[in-house]
């Protein structure tokens, strides 16, 4: 008889956003007349920018002619996209990253779940708490975590770095030395971030203790403050200790198109072994390249027209973030984030638990958010709202919350 990967049995419940979707569907089925406003999962609502649609149309047409048809994409990504990424995301910011250090993929969620594969089973991971659930869950599936304690909502063998209003949501260097450190900045879920000099401390620490940082920069397009780094490679020494994950979902609305990339510098080594070579081997074996049409769409993100249109789109969502911050503050809530990220993190009122507040808001305002505790124990007593809704729905949600 075959045996299953028992580690999956350790995972409690279903994936956070699946649980929320089920709850909302059940409520909606029982209350078909209610107009639900969804500010839960960070899914975008604005259409793909015209410059990107044009590029996709052109690529679709190319696929219909033998002379311009494309089959399998190069497994690490087309040069036209890797070069555009390097020029715009790295060289333009003074980061010395080359095209063969960029691995194009179908999105940052896959990469953030898969990257742990190249590390040993007995590596110890450190995560911020609260945290994007994929980092922990993918390590649970791989058997890198111990047992789950339902009372503390923590895994043994995982180093948690609490990020709460007490420390201004800035993770502190852990007492116990980790091997792999996950940092998502600007942060999902808290919507807060740290300065470039605070990030430099992490880079120095990782280099000192021999840890690797998995740096998820999916929300970098939302940075509005000058002292915040857009890439970890803006920090000195990051190429010997950091892998960076990037997404086209949030800056260009590709949640349904699917495109991302991971940067693994050639200088990042474990002894003589190059992690760049390992990730290339993994990618080549398990991934057949992002579709040509989608990579052409990605290239258009970096065109002059694409950049201008996306600046406007990011501005649209940040206007929502401002409306949420102001609306909630007016309603008496304590709010964080929303300045360098499209997420607003609020304290639940009257010491309500995160899930109780979820139910309360769904039932009384028909607004969906994400319970903070779903991201980790230190998220208890907090709640996340996304700025990715439409402006009209965002304002309507604020009005409903204010009249509660």
Q: How near is the Cβ of 355 to ligand MLT at its closest, in Å?
A: 17
Q: How near is the Cβ of 1 to ligand MLT at its closest, in Å?
A: 35
Which one among 20, 24, 39, 42 touches ligand MLT, defined by CB under 6 A? 42
Q: Are 187 and 344 in contact (CB under 8 A)?
A: no
Q: Are 397 and 367 in contact (CB under 8 A)?
A: yes
Q: Which range in 21-29, 40-48, 75-83, 220-228 contacts ligand MLT by CB under 6 A?
A: 40-48
* 15 has binding-site annotation: yes
CA atoms within 13 A on the CB side of 302: 16
Q: Which range in 39-47, 93-101, 158-166, 320-328 contacts ligand MLT by CB under 6 A?
A: 39-47
Q: State yes or no: residue 109 binds ligand MLT (CB under 6 A).
A: yes
Q: What is the DSSP letter of 346?
A: E
Q: How near is the Cβ of 43 to ligand MLT at its closest, in Å?
A: 6
* 132 has binding-site annotation: yes
Give 41 or 223: the residue with its C-beta nearer to ligand MLT: 41
Q: State yes or no: residue 102 binds ligand MLT (CB under 6 A).
A: no
Give 306 or 379: the residue with its C-beta nearer to ligand MLT: 379
> In this structure, is the dihedral angle defined by the CA atoms of residues 160, 166, 169 and 174, taken in order, positive or negative?
negative
| Interface size with ligand MLT, residues (CB under 6 A) | 6
Task: Tell me how far CA of residue 212 lies from CA of 72, 86, 125, 242, 270, in angstroms.
Answer: 32, 22, 10, 6, 10
Nearest residue to ligand MLT by CB is 42
Under DSSP, is residue 311 helix (H, G, I), strand (E, B) or coil?
helix
Q: How near is the Cβ of 112 to ligand MLT at its closest, in Å?
A: 8
Q: State yes or no: residue 188 binds ligand MLT (CB under 6 A).
A: yes
Give 232 or 385: the residue with its C-beta nearer to ligand MLT: 385
Which one among 41, 51, 86, 301 touches ligand MLT, defined by CB under 6 A? 41
CA dist., res. 323 & res. 320, Å (int): 5
Q: State yes or no: residue 142 binds ligand MLT (CB under 6 A).
A: no
245-274 burial code (b ≥16 CB/10 A, e <16): bbbbbbbbbbbebbbbbbbbbeebeeeeeb
The contacts of residue 154 (CB under 8 Å, 6+ apart) are 148, 160, 377
* Sequence-distant contacts of 321-325: CB under 8 A, at least 24 apart: 321/191, 321/387, 323/391, 323/394, 323/395, 323/398, 324/39, 324/385, 324/387, 324/394, 324/397, 324/398
Q: How near is the Cβ of 63 to ligand MLT at its closest, in Å?
A: 28
Give 139 or 188: the residue with its C-beta nearer to ligand MLT: 188
Q: How near is the Cβ of 153 to ligand MLT at its closest, in Å?
A: 18
CA dist., res. 203 & res. 208, Å (int): 9
Give 41 or 211: the residue with its C-beta nearer to ligand MLT: 41
The contacts of residue 213 (CB under 8 Å, 6+ apart) are 181, 182, 183, 202, 203, 206, 232, 238, 241, 242, 243
Q: Are 299 and 55 in contact (CB under 8 A)?
A: yes
- The owner of tokens 């975008």 is 44
- Residue 245 is encoded by which pair of tokens? 């994950």
Give 260 or 265: the residue with its C-beta nearer to ligand MLT: 260
- The owner of tokens 């579709």 is 291
Q: State yes or no: residue 192 binds ligand MLT (CB under 6 A).
A: no
* 288 has binding-site annotation: yes
Q: Are 146 and 139 in contact (CB under 8 A)?
A: no
Give 41 or 48: the residue with its C-beta nearer to ligand MLT: 41
Q: Which range in 27-35, 36-44, 207-215, 297-305 contacts ligand MLT by CB under 6 A?
A: 36-44
* 105 has binding-site annotation: no
Binding residues, by number, are 15, 42, 72, 108-109, 132, 188, 219, 247-249, 258, 288, 384
Interface residues with ligand MLT (CB under 6 A) are 41-43, 109, 132, 188
């Amino acid at each position: 008889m075959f045996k299953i990967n028992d580690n999956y049995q350790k995972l409690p419940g279903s994936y956070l956003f699946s649980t929320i979707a089920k709850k909302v569907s059940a409520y909606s089925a029982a209350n078909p007349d209610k107009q639900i406003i969804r500010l839960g999962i960070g899914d975008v609502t604005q259409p793909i920018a015209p410059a990107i649609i044009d590029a996709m149309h052109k690529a679709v047409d190319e696929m219909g002619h033998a002379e311009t048809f494309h089959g399998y994409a190069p497994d690490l990504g087309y040069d036209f996209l890797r070069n555009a990424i390097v020029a715009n995301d790295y060289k333009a910011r003074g980061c010395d990253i080359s095209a063969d250090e960029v691995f194009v993929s179908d999105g940052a969620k896959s990469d953030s779940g898969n990257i742990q594969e190249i590390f040993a089973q007995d590596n110890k991971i450190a995560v911020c708490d609260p945290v994007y659930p994929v980092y922990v869950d993918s390590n649970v599936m791989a058997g890198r975590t111990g047992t789950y304690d339902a009372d503390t909502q923590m895994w043994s063998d995982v180093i948690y770095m609490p990020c709460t209003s007490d420390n201004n949501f800035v993770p502190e260097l852990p007492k116990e030395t980790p091997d792999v450190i996950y940092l998502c900045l600007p942060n999902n879920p808290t919507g807060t971030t740290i300065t470039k000099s605070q990030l430099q401390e992490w880079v120095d620490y990782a280099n000192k203790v021999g840890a690797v940082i998995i740096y998820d920069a999916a929300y970098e397009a939302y940075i509005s403050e000058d002292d915040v780094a857009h890439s970890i490679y803006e920090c000195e020494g990051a190429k010997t200790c950091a892998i960076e994950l990037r997404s086209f979902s949030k800056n260009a609305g590709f949640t349904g198109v699917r495109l991302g990339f991971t940067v693994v510098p050639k200088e990042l080594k474990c002894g003589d072994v190059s992690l760049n070579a390992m990730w290339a081997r993994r990618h080549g074996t398990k991934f057949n390249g992002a579709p040509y049409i989608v990579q052409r769409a990605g290239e258009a993100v970096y065109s002059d027209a694409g950049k201008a249109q996306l600046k406007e789109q990011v501005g649209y969502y940040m206007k929502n973030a401002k409306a949420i911050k102001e609306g909630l503050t007016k309603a008496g809530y304590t709010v964080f984030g929303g300045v360098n990220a499209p997420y607003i993190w609020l304290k639940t009122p009257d010491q309500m638990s995160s899930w109780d507040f979820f139910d309360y808001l769904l039932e009384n305002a028909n607004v969906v958010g994400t319970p903070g505790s779903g991201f980790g124990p230190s998220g208890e007593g907090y709640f996340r709202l996304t700025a990715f809704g439409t402006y009209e729905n965002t304002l309507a949600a604020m009005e409903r919350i204010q009249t509660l």
